[in-house]
Structure formats: C-alpha cells, structure tokens
Amino acid sequence: MGTSKPYDLLVLGGGPGGYVAAVRGAQLGARVALIERDALGGTCLNRGCIPTKALIESARVLSLSRKMNAFGVEGAGTRLNYPAVIRRKEQIVSRLADGVEGLMRGNGIDVHRGNGMVLSPGCVKVQDRQGGEVTLEGGKIILATGSRPARLKLPGIDSPGVVFGEEALSLAELPGSVIIIGGGVIGVEFACLYKEFGCQVVIVEMENRILPREDREISAHLQKRLSKDGIAVLTGACIESIEGERGAVGVILRHGSESMRLSAALALVAVGRAANVEALGNLPLRYDRGFVVTNARMETGISGVFAVGDLRGGMLAHVASAEGIVAAGNALGHETVMDYRSVPGCVFSSPELASVGLSEEEAGKKGYEVEVGRFSFAASGRALAMEEGDGFVKIVSEKSIGEILGVHIIGPHASDLIGEAVLAMKLEATAEELARTIHPHPTLTEAVMEAGADTLGEAIHVLRRKRQPVLAGRLRSTVEQPV
C-alpha cells in the first residue's frame, strides 16, 4: 500500500458537489485530490439530470413536429428513431464528462480512480479496479458521495420488468406500456417522456396529488394536463405488491377502499433516494433519516470534515454545487455560509414547472398576509406564437410591503424563466419592482412582469372585477409621478 504526499484538501466523490468543490479548492490555491469510483460528473451528468434532459428534448422536438400543421408547415410526417435518440443522449453525456475531466487537468487536481474509504478525518484509502491501494492524506476532507435510488421494501420489487430511473435511461427498446410508481419529479418527467414516445402510461402516487412539494394550484394544473394528454394518474394509491407475469409486470395496489391490479410491460420505480454512506467508514457523523447533518458552513461537527450534496439529502445538483463552493471556502479559511432562501426547483414535464420560495399554502401557514398575482400564458403573444398558451405565472407576495415570498411557473420554458425570480428574491426585490421593470416584447418574460403587476391589481392584460388600490408607501410608477 502506497502513501501519497499530503494534500490540502481531499474530496470524496466527483459529482456536481464534489468536482465543483475540488475546482473551488484549486482556485483558492490548495493542492487537491479528488477520489471517484466511477465517471466524473456523478449521477447528475451520467445517469440523471443530463441524460434525462437529452431524452426529453428529443420528445419535445417530436411533439413539435406533430404540430406542424398548426404552424402552416406541411410534411410527410415524422417518426421516432429510438436507437438514435439513445445515441444522441450518450454523445452529450460523453462530451460533458470529457469537459469535467478537462477541468480537473486544467486546475491541477489529482484524480484518483477507485473505491475510497475514510480511515480517519483527513485520511482516505483508495482501492483501484486492479486491486492496488494508495492512502491519501489531507488537512481537510469534503464528503460528496451522493445517493442512489431507494429500494422499497415491497414484495416483488426485484421481479423481471421492474426498473429504476437510472436503468430506464438505457433501455434497449421502448416498452408498449409503463406503470410509474411515484408521482414526484422523476416519475412525472418519465411519464411525459414515455407518453410522447408512444407508450401507455399510468402514474401511481401515494399522496393525494402528484408533485406534493409544489404549490397546490400548480400541481393540480399539471395533473389535469397529464390526464388530458392521456396519462392515467392514480393518487392516494398504495402499492401492496408487484408480480412478474409472462412478458409483463403486475402491480397490486389499494386505491381508497378498492383493490386494483394493473398490468404493463414495465414498472418504473421512482420513489426516493438513499445516501451513499458506505465509504464514510466509522466517522462519528450525525444522521437524520439516513442523511449526514451539517451546519450552514457545511461542517459535520467533526473538525476538518465537511459534507455536501445528496449525502445531506438535498437532491438538487445546483444546490450540491453551491454547497461544494461553500465547503471548499470554509475548509481553506474563507468564511462563507449557504443561503437556502432562494433555491429554485424545476420539473421538466410537459409543460415545464419551476418554482422558488414559498407556496401560497406555506406562506399562509407561516403567518404572512398573502397577496397573489397570476398571469396566464394564454394572454402572452409570444406563448401563442409558439403554440404554448397553457399555464401561468403565480407570484406569492407579502401584502403590506410586497416582499416576494415565492414564484411558481407552469408553462413554456418555465425552467429558464425562474432565473429572474430567483435573482429578484436574492436581492429582496418586491413584486412591484418586478412590475415596474420594463421587459422586452414579445417575450415569455412579460408574464413574470404582469404577474407582479397583478399582485397590485395593475396587470394590463388581465381583466379584474375590481381594481385594487396601490398600498400606501409602495413605489410609485413612472406615470404617477409629476412631470
């Protein structure tokens, strides 16, 4: 067993939390080692965010091609070439993975391939695939070991024809029908994807609505849209068992007082994830529901040991990266803390969802006097030009001063539009300031401006029964000020 010369920083795990932490450490002048047992980029790049979005984009183009006549474009029609879709997905993943490798080389980061095991704070043993071992020592360590799909304790979960999200990305051929167990982000995205590819889809969700963490009004709108598009949605349903059938999968569930049996070619389990903790050895870490607990500086409570990303239960790649930057800074003497008040979330469904901050219900429970503004994409010239008039922007604000508490979007390019709302909340802007900011026309961003104006009762392209007065003390619009 060899021992390398000491590093300033050891990073265990090369996903979006780990490799970003490593780059930040190198930027701060540290000698950094990154330990990764698989491909750099982690689940997000190789088996999650990126490959699913590549497939979803193919589905979007296919959907658009089916609307050609609505745009006045005539053609012989289109068909799906599924093997070509998979090849494109793999090419995109490979290109981005090569980019991360280049970042490591360019920043002088030593990448050690193999299974890492923490022996003690600041000491990691790495075993490569050939059986060779090396012990790495460092002043500080950042744990970024990620997560994996949770294994449900369900009879028949290992039956043939039952797959998890990561496996579903590389199926050799499309199934004719799919039962998706779980109506969260992963389940909904795959449902929309498979439906566009021509599969019969059923979503089974234990809660009383899909996407239960989203604003209730938003998730209700999406559920109606999914049903309209031919996706069957069973909420309030409890899976009792799974049975392998001849060339199919049977799912036995209870829906209310009724016992049901569903059958499909494939069952996709999209329920929860579990932290990868095997490499953490005997570190006396504190856990909550299986995830490592840290403070806002990403410190674990053990001197010199930090943790970021899915290991903490965050499950968002962009949060993992932000935590990695904070952890590297603190590990190397640069005081900084995480700010979770304006973290966006996106669902790449059809239509897309995106949100930041509190839902209307959450704001009410926290005691805020809430003012809500909405603007429908049906009134957006740009959205109609795109044949994407379904959905709306919803802004939840505090009534007295107009503080933005949350923004929720369902509609075209929601994942892009939410960036403005995130910045507005980060800068503590008010809904009125959004409303008074001139947005380009005709664009989708005008919907955000109009929703802000609607909280004041001033949206131009919204008819209201009664115009609400602008509250005293708020900013006055340009037209209200004397010349």
Cα gap 275→225, rounded to integer Å: 33
How confident is the model over 114-142, as a mean pLDDT? 94
Residue 4, SS3?
coil
Which of the following is catalytic: 112, 413, 439, 441?
A: 441
Cα gap 283→450, rounded to integer Å: 52
Q: What is the mean pLDDT of the chain?
A: 93
Q: Which of 36, 115, 117, 125 is nearest to 281 (CA)?
A: 117
Domains in the chain, CATH or no CATH each = 2-148+274-331 (3.50.50.60), 162-271 (3.50.50.60), 344-480 (3.30.390.30)
Region at 371 (left for phi over 0; alpha for psi -120 to 50; beta for the rest): beta
Asked whether residue 201 carries a pLDDT value surpassing 70, the answer given is yes
Asked whether residue 482 carries a pLDDT value surpassing 60, the answer given is no
Is the pTM higher than 0.85? The answer reads: yes
Q: What is the pLDDT of residues 254-295, one digit of tens each?
A: 998 889 999 999 999 999 899 999 999 999 999 999 999 999
How confident is the model over 398-424, as a mean pLDDT? 97
The pLDDT of residue 2: 63
Cα gap 446→460, rounded to integer Å: 11
- Residue 441 annotated in active site: yes
Return all residues near 164 (Cβ < 8 A) that are at least 6 apart. Answer: 149, 268, 269, 270
Cα gap 12→6, rounded to integer Å: 15
Return all residues near 132 (Cβ < 8 A) that are at least 6 apart. Answer: none
Task: Give the orientation angle of helix 216-228 with respect to helix 185-196, to 10 degrees.
Answer: 20
In this structure, is the dihedral angle defined by the CA atoms of residues 199, 205, 208 and 212, taken in order, positive or negative? negative
In the chain, % of residues over pLDDT 90: 88
The pLDDT of residue 4: 62
How confident is the model over 200-225, as a mean pLDDT? 97
Q: What is the pLDDT of residues 305-342, one digit of tens each?
A: 999 999 999 999 999 999 999 999 999 999 999 999 99
